[in-house]
Amino acid sequence: MKVNGNKVNILVGGPTQQWPKQLTQGGIVGDWVGIDRGALRLIKLGVIPKVAAGDFDSISSNELAQLRQSVADIQQFPPEKDLTDTQIGVSIALKQLKATRIDIYGATGGRLDHLLANLFLVLSDSLRPFASRIRFIDQQNTVCFFLPGEYEIKKEPDKKYLAFVNLTAVKGLTLTDEKYQLHQFGSDYPISWASNEFVGTTNHFSFEMGVVAVIQSKD
């Protein structure tokens, strides 16, 4: 997905084993928001985030003091709150840093409840209009989100598999030229159309209602 404008990266505190090589090697461009322990990990990578945010319940008081010495903008929230730390990070990226694309790392692996909360954040009323700006990226997967429309998608060179997951009720889901096609599919509940593949390097799909996650992945 190519988006012109301001790209902001977010690092959440998930397992470092799920980081893509580009992150571990410091090859990701753009401003950063560090979420909870993710902010400390950025500093260890030599990256000073524009904002560090979260309830910081996973770090010690000494580590929080270290953050305060390194990061100019610390936004601390109480553990008892309506929004998750990742939702807060996305809101900061959109409202404060004016992001036109948001790449989120460290949000997969570990606790399943955290993973589901992260994937479902695009369904909230406040973030759904911006779903197409958000991606989750880890060592094996890239997850993009789409609102109703017609789309052209490009294959990532290192990925073999392609999945279409309707996160909500969906209407008219059509996979035009993928290896396994689908025509005007509708469902009242989420389904993962997994282990599909590109035909060539560019494919197309469309749907009329709902929110669909498109996942490119590799073993």
Question: Is 149:55 a contact under the CB 8 Å cutoff?
Answer: no
Looking at residue 162, what is its pLDDT? 98
Q: Structural domain tally of the chain?
A: 2
Residues 116 and 40 in one domain: yes
The residues with which 102 forms a beta bridge, in sequence order, are 8, 134
Q: Which residues of the chain have pLDDT under 50?
A: 1-3
Looking at residue 4, what is its pLDDT? 53
Diameter of the chain by CA atoms?
A: 56
The CATH code of the domain that includes 149 is 3.40.50.10240
Looking at residue 81, what is its pLDDT? 78
Residues 14 and 111 in one domain: yes
Residues 61 and 106 in one domain: yes
Looking at residue 27, what is its pLDDT? 85
The residues with which 52 forms a beta bridge, in sequence order, are 34, 74
Q: In what order do the strands lie in the sheet containing 141-146?
A: 74-76, 51-54, 31-35, 7-11, 101-105, 134-137, 141-146, 212-217, 161-166, 191-196
Rounded CA separation 210/173 (Å): 9
